[in-house]
Amino acid sequence: MAKQYFRIDGADSTSGQETYLVLRAESKPHAERLARKQGILVSSVRIAKPTDWESADTTTDVAEPAPAPGDGDISSEPAPDIPAREPALRPMDPAPAIPTPSQMSEPTGSSAAAILLSFIGAALVLGGVLALSLALWPDDTVRNELQQVDFRLHELSQTILGSMLVLGGLLIFVLAAVLVSTRSRRGR
């Protein structure tokens, strides 16, 4: 299919300024795709007229460069009603760099495990502090000897339970820190 010149009206996607460009394409949808690749938000596409080049502002015109002879283009000359001069090219923004897999930070099993272990450690420390505070809460109730021994044993068991929960939570925090540090060493 022979290429034609199309005028694409729209706005610059970065600045929002209204602009148009004239370029050579196979069809209207192809011209619209080329304009979007050059950063234009397209509002209309039509076949270009000679007056489109005459009224062109060289700072806002964008054109696809004419194909070099032998590029597979059947006609290397412009259409008869189109002037031979090409509008000035607008510099395009460079394409954003695609990060390599080593630059991407994906959550791995070790980081997910470290987060999970941190939550478990926090829950154990919180439970241990709660058990210790209940064990050490002052109680001035009058009791006989047997009740007093039972109460003291109960306080002792709560104190041991709370201490073990706090200690277990701290050990799990250490394990999570080891996982994070080994992951960071492997990443370097």
Q: By mean pLDDT, which of 11-15, 70-74, 108-112, 142-146 is the weakest?
A: 70-74
Query: Considering the entire predicted model, what is its pTM?
Result: 0.40
| Cα distances (angstroms) measured from residue 13 to each of 8, 23, 169 | 14, 18, 53
pLDDT of 137: 84
| Cα distances (angstroms) measured from residue 184 to each of 21, 100, 101, 103, 141 | 50, 18, 16, 13, 55
| Cα distances (angstroms) measured from residue 127 to each of 48, 119, 139, 177 | 76, 12, 21, 21
Mean pLDDT value across residues 13-27: 87
Contact of 121 with 92, CB cutoff 8 Å: no
pLDDT of 138: 83
Q: How far apart are CA 87 and CA 100, in angstroms?
A: 38
| Cα distances (angstroms) measured from residue 79 to each of 6, 48, 84 | 12, 11, 9
Catalogue the E-assigned strands of 66-147: none
Tell me the per-residue pLDDT of 52-81, one tens digit each, with 9 for 90 and over.
776 654 333 344 444 444 444 444 444 545
